[in-house]
Amino acid sequence: MGTQKLYFFWIFCLIFICSVFVQSKQSNYTNNPVIFELIAKDMRRGSTQRLPFHHNVSLTVSLLVGTPRQPVTMVLDTGSELSWLHCKKSPDVNSLFDPVHSTSYNPVPCTSPVCSTRTRDLTIPVSCDPRKLCHAMVGYADMSTMEGTLAMDNFVMGGLSVPGVVFGCMDSGSSSSGDDSGTTGLLGMNRGSLSFVTQMNYPKFSYCISGQDSSGVLLFGDANVPWLKELSYTPLVQMSSPYPLPYFDRVAYSLHFEGIKVGTKLLNLPQSILQPDHTGAGQTMVDSGTQFTFLLGPAYTALKNEFLAQTKGTLRDLGEPNFVFQGAMDLCFRIPLSQTSYPPLPTVTLLFQGAEMSVSTERLLYRVPGEVRGPDGVHCFTFGNSELLGAEAYIIGHHHQQNMWMEFDLQNSRVGLAEVRCDLASKKLVLGL
């Protein structure tokens, strides 16, 4: 939900707990892990590949799509429903999905029931392109958009081929920074009817993001590993209103936000500002497609002031009131380029119903690429003001999910959290421990 483009990204190690029977797009899975290669790629400005996206770092997975199989790289996004791929307009364009050369590719006509599925990712009423195909368009907070048509094709994951997965075949779009070519697409993982995890009929999935070596694992099904300590579960918010609310996303992973601690001090925040109001504004969403965490104005201001108070004399203020990183992060500091580690900082703990997420040390500050002030680099507080983005929600980004085992239990409508060394978890899962 930020405003800057991708400079580099991580490619995840995927582990699918599979052995599948597919019938009418319903699947049953048993423990049979399939392990994908772990890769890290540099996506700095000037690279030939870019994501039409607004995150400095994105979590990506590698799949195969079509017949014959074409490799694709997709952003893992728990904040989106519709998966989509960049589709070729011309045979001269490389590294994008080419539907013309897939014999299993089927565009979705406007008359298909799929085209009338209720989702925020499709225009309402349904629109058709000149070929009478179902038009699809998605938009993001940085004003970038992608357009194309709905389609179905085989998605292949480590030898498992699943036919008829619905996705957007996007062939046009716009971006706030002008970088539209790029990695192949996005994997929508929320609870909507067209999301990838819903179409695959998985009861749960988990991921673990390392803060050490840009590695991670994504796992579908039950973990069932002895070294994973007991998870703390927090229930998903269920709105009682039967009517759509203008600011509430019913298919997001929305949590009960109960408070914030800085060090040992609990901020004096009224519960009314931490919970959705009658319009749905103020929900708290877990979003792997956003890098940092953004809080509504009153909560952000209270956190900012307390963090400043507890780091006075420890951190040197940037001293530039008009400097705002990613359009929403205005608390920044000067730290000597020669300094290899941060001084002791107070832990920021986000409190949810039945669970908590602690953010400490290197996850509290982020060095802004390319910003240097004499002998110092610019480092910004990794919480921002969501109201500066025009978002009426609390958004928990993946930077603060590092070294947390994150389980999304769709069957029981809850999210499980446990602190884990994710670099070690990745190695253990690869070795089958």
Residue 97 carries which DSSP code?
B
Task: Quote the CA–CA distance of 366 and 375 in Å, as a whole number.
Answer: 17
Domains of the chain: 9-202 (2.40.70.10), 232-421 (2.40.70.10)
Instruction: State how far the Cα of 421 lies from the Cα of 399, in Å rounded to an integer.
Output: 14
- Position 182 scores a pLDDT of 46
Average pLDDT on 309-320 reads 96
Would you state the pLDDT for residue 56? 37
d(CA 129, CA 147): 11
Confidence of residue 244 (pLDDT cuts 50, 70, 90): confident
Give catalytic residues, as residue numbers: 77, 287
Find the mean pLDDT for residues 310-326. 95
In sequence order, which residues have a C-beta less than 8 Å from that of residue 313 and are 6 or more positions away?
none
For the residues of 303-365, what is the DSSP string, one character each?
A: HHHHHHHHTBTTBEE---TT--BTTTB--EEEEETT--SPPP-PPEEEEETTEEEEE-GGGTE
Q: Diameter of the chain by CA atoms?
A: 65
Say yes or no to pLDDT of 394 above 80: yes
For the ranges 171-175, 186-190, 266-270, 355-359, which has the lowest average pLDDT? 171-175
Would you place residue 280 in the very low, low, confident or very high pLDDT band (cuts 50, 70, 90)? very high
Whether 34 has a pLDDT exceeding 60, the answer reads: no
Place of tokens 């994997």: 187
Which amino acid is it at 87? C
Side-chain-side CA neighbours of 350 within 13 Å: the count stands at: 26
What's the CA gap between 288 and 76, in Å, rounded?
Answer: 7
The better pLDDT of the pair 355, 425 is held by 355
What are the percentages of helix, strand and coil residues in the chain, rounded to 5? 10, 40, 50
User: What share of the chain in percent tops pLDDT 90?
Assistant: 53
Q: What is the mean pLDDT of the chain?
A: 80
Angle (CA) 344 264 270, round 5°: 125
Which of 65-69, 228-232, 302-306, 427-431 is most confident? 302-306
- Helix (H, G, I), strand (E, B), or coil: what is residue 415? strand
Find the range with the poorest average confidence among 112-126, 213-227, 293-307, 312-326: 112-126
